[in-house]
Amino acid sequence: MNQLLKALVIRDDQHKLKDVADVVAVARSEGRKLFHTEENIKVIRVIFDGDIGWIVVIGCSVASV
């Protein structure tokens, strides 16, 4: 199955994110907006970079877009 992939940068400038689960929830929500779908958004990879913030790779199956 083919997947569309996107990389997101999530910055916690207001210090509202408590843990990685919050980062994943934000990434999935933003993924639904980016892919214009209500289907499940897969989180492929989560990386933290001190200078940039959270880098999250998300995927969505082509059939659902």
pLDDT tens digits for range 5-64: 999 999 999 999 999 999 999 999 999 999 999 999 999 999 999 999 999 999 998 776
Are 61 and 1 in contact by the 8 Å Cβ rule? The answer is: yes
Tokens of 28: 């999935």
DSSP 31-65: HHHHHT--SPPEEEEEEEETTTEEEEEEEEEGGG-
Residue type, 50: G
Tokens of 24: 């994943």
Tokens of 50: 């001190």
pLDDT attached to residue 1: 64
Domain ranges, ordered by start, for the chain: 3-64
